[in-house]
Chain A
Amino acid sequence: MESQLIHFKVEDRNGEIRELDIPDDMSLSLMEALKANEYNIMATCGGMALCATCHVQVLEGLDRLPPMQDAEIDMLDTLPDAGFDSRLACQLRIDSTLSGVFIKIRGEEE
């Protein structure tokens, strides 16, 4: 299968909005893609749904994302500022489900 560019929008902690195009054949998580694009994300646990520092809020496209696994729900439950539209970026793969979504970075800064 040919590589495709997945296009989505990101708002950082200062409210600045950027559009990103990330190839879907590098088996990246959204957390890794954001880090690679110079977003300041601690990702203390390296993507194991154990630290919640990659917390994002999904402003558009929430219903298209794959459902959460237990580990992600558990971790979000421990966050004081999580809402119904919260996800952990490390648990989302860069693939067509992310195409067109709009996310806002919420996790703690490094």
Chain B
Amino acid sequence: MIITDICIVGAGPVGLFSVFEAGLLKMRCHLVDALPQIGGQLSEIYPQKPIYDIPGYPTINAQELVDNLRKQIDTFSPTFTLGERVQTIDRQEDKSFIVTTSEHTQIHCKVIVIAGGLGCFEPRKPAVEKLEEFEGKGVAYMVKDPELFRNKEIVLAGGGDSALDWTIFLSDIAKKVTLVHRGETFRGAPDSAEKVFHLAEQGKINLVLKSNVTKIDGNGCLNEVVIEGSDNIPYSISADYLIPLFGLSPKLGPIADWGLNVEKSAIQVNTFDYSTNIEGIYAIGDINTYPGKLKLILCGFHEAALMCQSAFKHVYPDQRLSFKYTTVNGVNGF
């Protein structure tokens, strides 16, 4: 079990900056994020876009801001669990919490800070008959362990960069790779598109354009994928795996089941300290709501600072907090 003072749910910009504010008050943090990388919306949706309203930066690229936040908090040695969703939180008798993830990682903490943004990024699912029935039994929305696909027959669906990249990658490993794309051309990185066309010409992959996967079937495990082209005549091919790759979209997810006051997919908080209706649980950044709420990075940073002043009471109940500027003592890491 991981033991820490504060467990932060969500490693977006607001979760990351919370580590700094907490560190100044000698509170240790562990962050959990469903995505395999830190940075939340900034890394996932707009890494290369310039942001103009971060105080002190006339302009900064989203990914650069994430990298800088990471550097800024390094001194407080935060620990991370990435690629796992926080599933449940259990309150203990001594008022501490045990946080459990989708992969059964457990974190024991005194305070929970929910910085979950718009929620968990989850794969968009195409309208394919019986898709959900075969999830985990041949349908996968991401390639976690490529070895799983060695010598298998795989169908990928999608036309974006990740569909192209995985088609190229898996063509070396799998027995047979079929890429099904609705369009005729690929808009993704031109290099990857060219490579995919080249692999198809060489007969190394099977490229099916202007078509959709409409149905799948199998006997316990997936073994058949039905494809329909513009002639609307369905035909089936054999397959061990179907990997639909249509990007990610955020969904509130498990946060809705934790007994918090939720209004329109956001957690209601007290603006005094961004506490929720459950003692010891705070919500900051895009995930919270209060009169006048603005979903801005700088607002989330402000919320993080106030939240930490209040969280201190749960972490060090016997100590008094004295407010100090960073200019006075500098930053003393641990």
Contact = CB atoms under 8 A, between A and B. Distances in A.
Given A77-B187, A80-B124, A80-B127, A53 B45 contact: no
Contacts, number: 52
A79 B46 CA distance: 17
Given A50-B45, A82-B182, A110-B264, A74 B249 contact: no
Which 10 pairs show the lowest CB-CB distances between chains A and B? A80-B126, A78-B247, A78-B160, A80-B246, A77-B159, A74-B187, A77-B187, A73-B187, A50-B45, A80-B124
B188 A45 contact: no
Given A50-B45, A77-B182, 9 more contacts: A44-B118, A45-B46, A50-B46, A77-B186, A78-B159, A79-B124, A80-B127, A81-B126, A82-B182
Nearest to B41: A44
Contacts of A52: 247, 249
Interface in B36-74: 41, 45-46, 49
Interface in A45-104: 45, 48, 50-53, 70, 73-74, 77-82
A108 interface: yes
B130 interface: no
User: Interface extent on A, as a size class?
Assistant: 10 to 19
B158 A78 contact: yes
Nearest to A72: B187
Contacts of B45: 44-45, 50-51
Contacts of B265: 110
Interface string B217-254: 00000000000000000000000000010110110000
Interface string A31-43: 0000000000000
Nearest to B131: A80
A82 B127 CA distance: 11
Contacts of B160: 74, 77-78
Given A45-B45, A77-B187, A80-B124, A51 B249 contact: yes
B125 interface: yes
Contacts of A44: 41, 45, 118, 249-250
16 contacts: A44-B41, A44-B250, A50-B45, A52-B247, A70-B187, A77-B160, A77-B187, A78-B124, A78-B158, A79-B247, A80-B124, A80-B127, A80-B157, A80-B244, A82-B182, A108-B249
Nearest to B248: A78
